[in-house]
Homo-oligomer: A and B are copies of this chain.
C-alpha cells in the first residue's frame, strides 16, 4: 500500500477552490451527469469533465481514490487517478439521500449513516460535549476515574429497568448500571471525583418511543464530598452554560450541519427551581393530575418545563418515590435533598442527583428494604460502617441526552454512533 497519509491533499469542503488539487475521496453516489464524493470534511457533488472521467464512473460506489484534479466551479476534470481500495460488492445502503429514518433503522445502519454529514456532525458534537464537560470539571479540580464494566453489585436503587449479568471466573457479576458506590467511596479520598461512566440496562422495550432512552448510555457522574445540593446544582449549571456557550461560539457550524436547530442554544443559568410539590400543583393546573409520591409523567414534566420555557430544577422529591441514595431533608424528612434537571421543548430529564445517605443504620435498612442480600454489598457496607463514606452530593448528566438537546434531535438515538436501543438487538 502506498503511504497515502503522506500525500498532499485538499479536503472537499472549505479548502477547495478553483485550480489543481489532489484529493483522496470515496465515491458516495453516481448520478446521470455528476458524482458525489466524500472525504472526512463531508460530501460534495461535481460534474465530471475531461477524457479521463469515464474510468471513475465505472468504479463501484465506495471506491477509495486518489485523484489529481482540475476544479472549476462545480466541475471536476480528472488529470490522473489511482484506486486505493475497491469494494468487493456494490454498496447497498444509500447514506447520501437519507430521508426520514426511524431510530431502529438508524441503529441497524449506523456505520453507514455516519457517513452522512448530518450524523457525522452529531458524532462530533457528542465528542465535543464530552471533551469540554470533562475539561470544565478538571478546571474545578475534579479528578476522573475509569469506570468498572462489571461488579459484584452495581446499583441498589435501579427502578424500571433490568440489570445485565455475567459470570466472571464462575461468580455472578452485574454489568455497570451506575457507578454510585465507587463515586461515594472515591470522594472520601479525593473529595471531587467523576467518571465518564458507560451504563447498560435492559430498558422496557416500549421506552424506545420516549425518544430519550438508550439501553447503553453515558453518564458524566460526579461526586463531591462535603458539598450540599446547592453546590452541585450550581456546578451543573456552570458546566451546562460553559459547554453550550462554547459550542455556540466556536462550533456553530456543527449545529447548522446537523440542521435540526436554526441557531445554537445557550442555556444561561440560574435555572428556576421549584419543589416537587409545586411541580405537582403546576402540573394539575396544566391538566395533569399526579398522585402525591409518584414520579411526574413525561407529559406532565414536559408541560411544567414548557411553562417556564427554560431548563428547570425540580427539587425535594418524596422519600417514598425514589429514596435509595438520597438523604432525607432534616427539616422535613418526608422529602429528599435531591433534584432533577428538566430540559424544555419536551426533552425531559437530563441530570439527576442530590445529597447522599451516608449513615450506617439507614443505608443497611434501605438495602434490606429492597430485599437485596447484604453480603453482596459487603465492601460498601463496611465502608459506610467504618467511616469510609463521607457526606457528599453529586449528580449524573446523561451525555447523549445533553447532546441530543444541543443538536435538536427528535430521538436520542441520532445523537450517538452505534446506539443500543430499548428492545433492539443485533445492531452493530
CB contacts under 8 Å to B, within A1-50, are 1, 3-6, 24, 26, 40
Q: Does A413 contact B (CB under 8 A)?
A: no
Write out the residue numbers on chain B whose beta carbons fall within 8 Å of the beta carbon of A420.
Answer: 148
Contact of A1 among B124, B170, B330 (CB under 8 A): B330
Shortest distance between the CB of A164 and any CB in chain B (Å): 5
CA distance A148 to B107 in the complex (A): 13
Given A62-B387, A387-B26: A416 and B379 interface contact (C-beta under 8 Å): no
Given A164-B167, A387-B26: A190 and B40 interface contact (C-beta under 8 Å): yes
Contact of A88 among B85, B145, B360, B426 (CB under 8 A): B360
Given A3-B228, A124-B143, A189-B114: A85 and B150 interface contact (C-beta under 8 Å): no
Q: Does A213 contact B (CB under 8 A)?
A: no
Docked-complex contact B428 and A387, CB < 8 angstroms: no
Q: Does A302 contact B (CB under 8 A)?
A: no
Query: Contact mask A140-170 → B, CB, 8 Å, 1/0?
Result: 0001111111111000000000001111111
Q: Does A84 contact B (CB under 8 A)?
A: yes
Docked-complex contact B198 and A379, CB < 8 angstroms: no
Stretch at the interface among A73-81, A89-97, A291-299, A338-346: A89-97
Stretch at the interface among A126-134, A266-274, A306-314: A126-134
Contact of A143 among B24, B123, B390 (CB under 8 A): B123
Docked-complex contact A145 and B171, CB < 8 angstroms: no
CA distance A62 to B360 in the complex (A): 14
Q: Please give me the 4 A-B residue pairs with the lowest Cβ-Cβ distance, nearest first.
A: A62-B387, A87-B387, A88-B360, A379-B428
Residues of A participating in the B interface, judged by any CB pair closer than 8 Å = 1, 3-6, 24, 26, 40, 60-64, 84-92, 111-112, 114-115, 120, 123-124, 126-127, 130-131, 134, 138, 143-152, 164-171, 175-176, 182, 185-186, 188-191, 196, 198, 200, 202, 205, 215-216, 218, 224, 226-228, 230-231, 327, 330, 355, 358-361, 379-380, 383-388, 390-391, 399, 416-418, 420, 423-428
